[in-house]
Every structure is written in structure tokens, then in C-alpha cells.
Amino acid sequence: MKNDGVTKGSVALLGLGTMGRVLAERLLDAGHPVTVWNRTPGRDTALVERGARRAETVREAVTAATTIVTCLFDHASVRETLEPVGADLTGRTLVDLTTTTPNEARWLGGWAEERGIEHLDGAIMATPSMIGAPEASLLYSGSAEAFGRHRTLFEVWGSATYDGADHGAASLFDLALLSGMYTMFTGFAHGAAMVTSAGVTAEEFAHRSARLLSAMTGVFPMTAKVIDEGDYTGPGQSLEWTATALDTIARASAEQGVSPGPIEMTRALVLAQIEAGYGNENSDRIYEELRAGCPGDPRRGEGPGRAARSSGPHRAGSPPDRPRATSPLPRGPMLEGGCPGFSHTEGDTPWPRFSWSPTTSPGPTPPVPGSPAPGCGWPP
Ligand SMILES: NC(=O)c1ccc[n+]([C@@H]2O[C@H](COP(=O)([O-])OP(=O)(O)OC[C@H]3O[C@@H](n4cnc5c(N)ncnc54)[C@H](OP(=O)(O)O)[C@@H]3O)[C@@H](O)[C@H]2O)c1
């Protein structure tokens, strides 16, 4: 590991946003020599007062430390910041805590390897106020050696988990976990919109919602078992039943003048699997629809969802000739005075369907040899 006369254990932190500043504070608390840099000057004042060294340039920062931590806005900002100083990073350890996709992390891992830079990708499963507290958790993947050497340092921020040598692994877990978080908050906001439309406070709703959702997480292991075994014929809520339930929720939402968007998202997955002939099977089967890939993706169907469709109604251990759903999906009329903009036509969906497409681009990321291709035409 390159030393260049810099103090062992010294850290350069690039990016003093909401998260970066707290990461730097905890390092200072733990007695690490810290050099800080931020694109916009002035964000380091409190840190410098506490003993951090100010770097005027990225090069000055990276050459002042053996370990370089980036906590920037996105992958594009990491590249913009690091590419001009690639040669200066040689022989040092780069830990990127910026939220990026797995392929972006793999790209950075490959870029680092070409320059003799040890690389770890990190994912912060915490808010800034949690950093340093026991509930904060950070995931890392990439160089095992670098993880082992830095583990004590990482633990000043929170628990440190090593997810393996694949540079994209920490990011994959991060974003998979965040998918659940974002959709849960969206569901909560949707429920809150429904009850507040009737004069109930969101605070009152929050208590009830938290109780139900906490209890529901206890079902995850059973759902996981069904998914892992690929058998959706056991007991549980059928797709047909679920479609009716979702339809009722969506109509209730529209009656209250509230967009049923989050319900429509789930409903689209359920309907697709019913249309493929699995209406009597367990609603956990929406997993297969997700694995089948994105509409329009040339790789759609490579996942188990399509494999299950093409080989019959079941993937494992069930008769191939189960009855298929033929009845039209239950759809009720919307009440007058319902959600403005959502008109109902008999036989048609009573609310607009979502069409998902990315709205921002992180810029071109060269493909990483041996890594999965980006899905859904993303990046474009
Ligand atoms: N905040 C959280 O709760 C949280 C939780 C987990 C993970 N994270 C991740 O941590 C990272 C930082 O989050 P944050 O909350 O600190 O964001 P933030 O407050 O918006 O800070 C973004 C940082 O990136 C810098 N930056 C943006 N574009 C840049 C560019 N082109 N070149 C150089 N620097 C650039 C900003 O510099 P300027 O000051 O010059 O704009 C700032 O230092 C993100 O990837 C985020 O997803 C955040």
C-alpha cells in the first residue's frame, strides 16, 4: 500500500453533503487524521474547526491520505471527481460510499484495478443522524483485504458487513432493500391520503399502519420459502382473490379522490400472471412476473417467470393442467364524485395504467466484462 509519507490510517473524505459531513465527524471523533474536500467551498468550516485538514483540490486531498472515501451525489459525480486524479490514486484504497447501481460499482472496480487502486464499494443503510449509532449498518464489497484492514475504521460509522468480492454486491443489496423501503413509504402515503381525505390525521393513521406493517414482515420467511421452492400451489391468497382486493382498494381510493397509483402498480403484476394462466395460484407469484423482466427488454423471458410460462402453468411439483383463469376481472363502477381525471369505461381499466421509464441518466457507463448486462434498457 502506497504511503508517500502520509500518516497511516489517514482518510480523505470527498463530498461534504449531508452524509459526508457526518461521516467525517465520526472519523474525527475516533481520532483519525482526516482531510476533507468538497466541490463547493465553505461546507468544511465546522470540520476544520474540529481538526480536519482542508484540501483545496481533489488531488491535494487524495495525496494526503492512504484511504480515500467518496460520498458524492451519484456515479457520474464520482467519475467526474476521480478520473482526473486516477494516477494519484494508484497504491491507495478507494471506498465509494456513493449510492450507485451494481454495474456502476463494478465499472469503478475495474477502473480502479487497471490503475492499481484497491477498491471497495460501500452502501450506507442509515440516515445521517444514525451514523455512529448501533442501528447504522453499512455494506461493503470488493477487495476482501481492504475490508479486513479497514474494518475497525468502518465500525466508527456503524456495523460493517462484507458482501463478497463482486464489487456490485453491496450496491445490489442496498438497492434491493431500498426498493422495499420506497414502496412501503409510497403505500403508507397512499393510505394516509385516503384517510386524510375523510378528515383523519396522518398521525393517527401512522400508529395503525405501523402496527399492521410490522406484523406483516413476519410473513416474509414464508413468502421466501414459496419463492425459493418455486411452488405457488400451496395455501395462501390466490392471484384472482388478490386482484379483487386490489380492485376494491383502487375503487375506494378513487371514491376518496385519491390516485390509486401504488395499487395499480401491484395490480399490473397480478393481472399479468392471471393472464398467463395462474389465477388460482398463490399471489406470491408476482415474483415470477418481476423475474420475467421489463416489457420491451429483449432479455424478457430469460428469468424464471417466462420459463414457468413456456413450460406450463407450474415451475415445480404441480400438475400441468390446473384450470386457467377465464372469467373477466372483477371491476366495479366508480362512484360519482370520484377521483377527478380517472374516468371509468365499462370493460376498461378505471384508472390510467402506469408506464414506467427512467427520467434521468447517469451518463454512459462502459460495460463491465463478465457482469450482467444492464436491464430494461437502463442505462439507455
Ligand atoms: N442522506 C442520506 O440519508 C443518505 C443515506 C444513505 C446513502 N446516502 C448516499 O450518500 C451520498 C451523498 O448523499 P448526501 O445526502 O450527502 O447528498 P447531498 O447532501 O446532496 O450531497 C451531495 C454531495 O455531492 C457533491 N456533488 C454533487 N455533484 C458533484 C459533482 N458533479 N462533482 C463533485 N461533487 C459533487 C455535492 O457537492 P456540492 O456541495 O458542491 O454540491 C455534495 O458534497 C448519495 O449517494 C446518497 O444516496 C445518503
pLDDT digits (tens, 9 = 90+) for 247-274: 999 999 999 999 999 999 999 999 999 9
C-alpha cell at position 334: 366508480
Residue 127 lies in a domain: yes
Q: Mean pLDDT in the chain?
A: 84
Count of structural domains, the chain: 2
Pocket test residue of 14, 73, 98, 129 for ligand 1, highest count of atoms within 8 A of CB: 73
Residue 72 has pLDDT above 50, yes or no: yes
C-alpha 98 – ligand 1 centre gap (Å): 7
- CA dihedral 154→159→165→170, nearest 10 degrees, is -110
Residue 4 lies in a domain: no
- The helix or strand, by DSSP H or E, that contains position 12, with its residue range, turns out to be strand 11-14
Pocket test residue of 72, 121, 125 for ligand 1, highest count of atoms within 8 A of CB: 72
Q: Give the 3-state DSSP-derived string for 264-317, with helices as H, strands as E and coil as C.
A: HHHHHHHHHHHHHHHCCCEHHHHHHHHHCCCCCCCCCCCCHHHHHHHCCCCCCC
Residue 40 lies in a domain: yes
Mark whether 216 and 342 lie in a shared domain. Answer: yes
pLDDT at 121: 98
pLDDT at 9: 75
What is the extent of the structural domain holding 259?
202-356
Per the CB < 8 A criterion, the answer to whether 142 and 120 are in contact is: yes
Q: What is the CATH number of the domain that holds 269?
A: 1.10.1040.10
- According to DSSP, residue 339 is labeled -
Residues in contact with ligand 1 by the CB-under-6-Å rule are: 15-20, 38-40, 43, 71-73, 77, 80-81, 98-99, 124, 127-128
pLDDT at 6: 56
The Cα–Cα gap between 255 and 187 comes to 17
Q: What is the CATH number of the domain that holds 21?
A: 3.40.50.720
Mark whether 107 and 255 lie in a shared domain. Answer: no
> What are phi and psi for residue 139, nearest 5 degrees?
-110, 145
Mark whether 164 and 247 lie in a shared domain. Answer: no
Residue 29 lies in a domain: yes
pLDDT at 310: 34
C-alpha 72 – ligand 1 centre gap (Å): 4
Q: Which residues contact 311 (CB under 8 A, 6 or more apart)?
A: none
What tens digit of pLDDT does each residue of 190-207 get? 999 999 999 999 999 999
